[in-house]
Structure 1
Amino acid sequence: MDHRFSELSRHMQEQHLRSLALSILKQYGAMPDSVQLLQYEDNAVYLVVRNGKSYVLRISVVDGRSPAAQASELEWLLSLAAEKTTVVPTPVATRSSELVVTSALNGSDEPVTSALFEWIPGAAPRHFGPELAAELGRVMARLHEHASGYRPSAPFERPAWGHQEVFDLGATMTSELAWSRLTSADRSMLREVSKKVRDRMPTVGDDWALIHADLHRGNVVVMPTGEVAVIDFDDCGWGHYMLDIATMLSSILRTCLDDRDEYARLAAEYLAGYREVRNLPASSSALNEFLVLRDMIILNFMVSSRNDAVVAYMPQRGNGILALMCRYLRTGLYDGFVSLEV
């Protein structure tokens, strides 16, 4: 009897996905020399080596973006690459000139989508230093500068990352699975947080545009040349520039939780690097709320996930976020806040 994909063990899921990956790769020509699973959460990500050249295959497994949404992501990547805004993954087309491949997955009612990218050599930084922090600020600002003038083709389909999408329509408020992992007190507290954030959030304005939406240290690659590349645009969509800025600040904070003076120094370098390219967004006055919004996105992801790897780290990370949000209700401040005054 066939089993639903979501009910299989992680080991069996990975076996099914590897078979699917090999089938997808046939559409790009000669079979690869090796295929190695790098990560499997909602996406399965593989390192593919063929004829001495490396690629990344991303298969969207759970609630993946539609083919149109993935095509829009790749359109922006091609524009960023063409204008040399920063180093980003270059999409690779199949033999039939398709950038997005749609495939059936055994045991799943919905088709899955995939895309292949050229590999960017290097590694994510384990620690931040002042020079890297400043360069990340410049890189972020260049992405935003490009987005401010970017005019996508129609139709252009990407998610939005505003208050309504993250709080009112997010998994924490709408998913039965999420409810089963939160207490009634947790949900009540989050509704209060939602109200407070909504009242303090800016309206959609000039600083609402395309953003990366998940630009943390794990999605940064420091290349052998020292150049900084940005990867994983899977969550890119419409949002406030300050959400991107808050996301990176939160990531910097997590590398020096035990040294708040170091965090303040690195945050100042990061913001100074951003200001070298463009002014901080008008919505910067709501930094606390964007820090909350970032953690709410993470909480939505964790409490609705059926992936064993995510579920394993959910209690510690999720409880930490809930505690920080309780403090935000009391004080109006959120972890990672720094003064934005020059």
Structure 2
Amino acid sequence: MAELESKRSQVARIRRTAVRALAAYPINEPRLTFIAHGENTTFRVDSPDGRFLLRVHRANRHGPGVDSRLAVGSELDWLAALQADTDLQVPTPIPTHTGEWTTVADDLVCSVLGWQAGRMHANDPRPIHFQRLGGVLARLHNHTAAWTPPVDLVRMRWDWETFFGNTMEYGGVSAADCWHLLPAPVRTQFDEIARRMRTVMAGLGTAPDTFGLIHADLHLENALFDANAVHVIDFDDCGLGYHLYDIAVPLWDNRYRDNYPALREALLKGYAEHRALPDLTQLNNFIATRDVAFGLWFAGMAQVNPAFAADLDRTMDYIHRSLEQIL
């Protein structure tokens, strides 16, 4: 691996991009505060006009050859539709001076969203949090089943090719090359999951009762709880995919908690309150698929992000031990 630019240097460079991008938005006297540097680089923006989230999107985030402006614009189209059609608490897309959802600065696509308040419970989840999250997932699926998206919708398609083929690019590394970055034991496990899921996904098909527009990343760090309300954030991974995958995501990173059975039951109960549950027979296989998606992403990001590189060995060891139990 080539020597990586330090995180401090990367953030400073992207901050300058963010400042240039803000000139395109009707936000007066903006003050930027760095939040995170991962898949995208994000900043809180404080202004007399309110508080906002600015995202500087990674190049080729949605796959090589995909127009990032169209892809991010399609994400914001869905957010706008959710706000118009439901009472779900999702971020408000902020248009530029010229009415566009995005702008480009230094060849990077940037977008601005209204700020979402609330408390994160990723470290101390209780069944009530999962029940409310399950209800949100069901209502998201209900909306997309009834919504007619724009004809030019551009989003990832979370099917077998995207999870296991060479559709995506992570940290500037093609998905196929990310497989070669995996430790041999993990790659063997991923190969087995790929074989399983080819059969599973073919059997499920893509009928509207199993497959549609999904959030694809609704774990507890992307849900902010405010009294009885759940504010859902980070639709950056949203795309066409299996409803079972959406249900698997919040279970995936909580499956080793002592109260996991209660959390799982609560999530499914909350979902069933708003929408019929899908067949759960393959739920554990979709949890394993999440391990694959996370592992390939992490391996690729470690090639460009020093924080990921420092944690790569520990993360791969965790994935290997986790998959030993499932397989």
Normalising by the residue count of structure 1, what TM-score does the alignment of the two structures yield? 0.85
Shift of 1:64: 2.7
- Give structure 1 regions of 4+ aligned residues with deviation exceeding 6 angstroms: none
Q: Which residue of 2 aligns with 1:316?
A: 314
Per-residue deviation at 1:38?
0.5
Q: Which residue among 123, 130, 133 is the counterpart of 2:130?
A: 133
Q: Does the C-alpha gap of structure 1 residues 158 and 77 become closer, same or farther in structure 2, counting only changes over 3 Å?
A: same
Contact 1:36–1:48 (Cα < 8 Å) also in 2: yes
1:184–1:127 distance in 2 versus 1, CA, 3 Å: closer
Does residue 160 (structure 1) correspond to residue 157 (structure 2)? The answer is yes
CA distance in 2 between counterparts of 1:184 and 1:250 reads 23
How far the C-alpha of 1:175 sits from its partner, in A, is: 4.1
Task: Map 1:1-342 onto structure 2 (within 5 A).
Answer: 8-51=5-48, 53-65=50-62, 66-104=68-106, 111-125=107-121, 126-169=123-166, 174-176=175-177, 178-179=179-180, 181-201=181-201, 202-206=204-208, 207-223=210-226, 225-253=227-255, 257-259=256-258, 262-282=259-279, 284-305=280-301, 306-329=304-327
How much has 1:276 moved relative to structure 2?
Answer: 0.7
Higher Rg of the two aligned structures: 1
Amino acid at match of 1:190: F
Q: Any idea what SS the aligned residue of 1:113 has?
A: strand
| SS of residue in 2 equivalent to 1:89 | coil
- Counting helix residues as a fraction of each chain, which structure ranks higher? 1
Say whether the 8 Å CA contact 2:34–2:42 is kept in structure 1: yes
> Structure 2 vs 1, CA of residues 285 and 177 (structure 1 numbering), >3 Å: closer, same or farther?
closer
Unaligned runs of 5+ in 2: 63-67
Q: Shift of residue 61 of structure 1? A: 2.4
Give the 3-state SS of the residue equivalent to 1:132 in structure 2.
Answer: helix
Distance across 1 between alignment mates of 2:276 and 2:28: 48
Q: Tell me the secondary structure at the aligned position of residue 304 of structure 1.
A: helix
Q: Note closer, same or farther for the CA distance 1:30–1:187 as it changes in structure 2 (3 Å cut).
A: closer
Higher relative CO (Cα under 8 Å, sequence separation at least 6) belongs to 2
Residue type of the alignment partner of 1:142: R
Amino acid at match of 2:16: S
In structure 2, what residue type is equivalent to 1:251? D
Give the structure-2-normalised TM-score. Answer: 0.88
What SS does the aligned partner of 2:90 have? coil
Asked if the contact 2:130/2:263 (under 8 Å) is kept, the reply is yes
How far the C-alpha of 1:299 sits from its partner, in A, is: 0.6
The count of aligned residue pairs is 310
Pairwise CA distance, 1:200? 2.8
Q: 1:177 to 1:238 in 2, by over 3 A?
A: closer
Q: Could you tell me whether the CA contact under 8 Å between 1:25 and 1:31 is conserved in 2? A: no
Tell me how far apart the structure 2 counterparts of residues 267 and 23 of structure 1 sit (CA, whole Å).
45
Contact preservation (8 Å) 1:123, 1:222: yes
Q: Percentage identity across aligned positions?
A: 28
Looking at structure 2, the residues matched to 138 and 77 of structure 1 have their Cα atoms a distance apart, in angstroms, of 17
C-alpha distance 226-133 of structure 1, shift in aligned 2 (>3 A): same
Residues in 2 aligned to 1:247 and 1:26: alpha-carbon distance in whole angstroms: 36
Q: CA shift at 1:99, angstroms?
A: 1.0
Task: Give, in angstroms, the shift of residue 156 of structure 1.
Answer: 0.8
In angstroms, what is the RMSD of aligned CA positions?
Answer: 2.1
> Deviation of residue 328 (structure 1)?
3.2
Could you tell me which amino acid in structure 2 is paired with residue 187 of structure 1?
Answer: R
Matched-pair contact (CA < 8 Å) for 1:64–1:112: no
CA distance in 2, matches of 1:88, 1:40: 22
Cα distance change of structure 1 residues 294 and 142 upon mapping to structure 2, 3 Å threshold: same
Contact conserved, 2:186 with 2:316, CA < 8 A, in 1? no
Q: Residue 250 of structure 1: CA displacement? A: 1.6
Contact 1:85-1:143 within 8 A present in 2 as well? no
